[in-house]
Chains A and B, each alone.
Chain A
């Protein structure tokens, strides 16, 4: 039940503010469902695939997606995500929490300014 709510809210905020669903999904999994940090981040990525795919198709219909530029940013990002996930396995879960808190502060700053 909570899972359904978390998924809906994640998508809702994603559609409302254009922030990635992960910003909402990860803390809710940790606080409401007692996921460990690594599990929360891994499971969040799986959900983002589906939410992002829907969003991409929707935006592509309006002609807003530039696949060349998506590749330009996305291909280096593929290397980044593999490296990031590998590093994450070697650091304490608390460090993951603190990095996430920093990301939230940055997101808040971006929204305010």
Chain B
């Protein structure tokens, strides 16, 4: 039963990957912790492995739809590896709680910006075109 539940969360995580371009770890990690009794560290590590395959297939499908700028993706991925090394080093050096709260606030600010952008785009601009022109 636990296996079925973990698989179902896995499916939803993958779905999220296809819909919004994340790896799905946000659901893989809880699936591994809650249903498969993994510790947080092991769950995150195992989730990463699943993410690689999910992201690869997702990127391949999105490429087929014409939504991948391959060069940009590779450049970001390469730089991302450097970033991970730095991030892990700092995570080990400083207290995590303050950083977590700061990142949570950042997430909320970005979410608000995204919503604002959608609201703005759905309103017709006040001065669309000069008067008299079709």
Q: Mark A42-53, 1 if CB is under 8 A from B, else 0.
A: 111111111111
State A102–B118 Cα separation when bound (angstroms): 13
Min CB gap A79→B, angstroms: 6
Residues of chain A at interface, number, CB under 8 A? 92
State A13–B110 Cα separation when bound (angstroms): 14
B75 within 8 A of A: yes
State A23–B16 Cα separation when bound (angstroms): 12
Please name all residues of chain B whose beta carbon is closer than 8 Å to the beta carbon of A78 when the two chains form the complex. 14, 53-54, 57
16 A-B contacts, Cβ less than 8 Å apart?
Answer: A12-B86, A25-B21, A38-B67, A41-B62, A42-B58, A46-B73, A49-B52, A49-B77, A52-B48, A60-B49, A72-B7, A73-B9, A80-B14, A82-B61, A87-B19, A100-B21
Which B residues are within 8 Å of any A CB, using their own CB? 3, 6-26, 28-29, 31-32, 36, 38, 41-42, 44-59, 61-63, 65, 67-70, 72-91, 99-101, 103-105, 107-108, 110-115, 117-118, 121-122
Please name all residues of chain A whose beta carbon is closer than 8 Å to the beta carbon of B8 when the two chains form the complex. 76
> Contact partner of B54 among A60, A62, A72, A74, CB < 8 A?
A74
Which A residues are within 8 Å of any B CB, using their own CB? 3-23, 25-27, 30-31, 35, 38-56, 59-60, 62, 64-67, 69-89, 94, 96-112
State A18–B32 Cα separation when bound (angstroms): 14
State A50–B86 Cα separation when bound (angstroms): 16
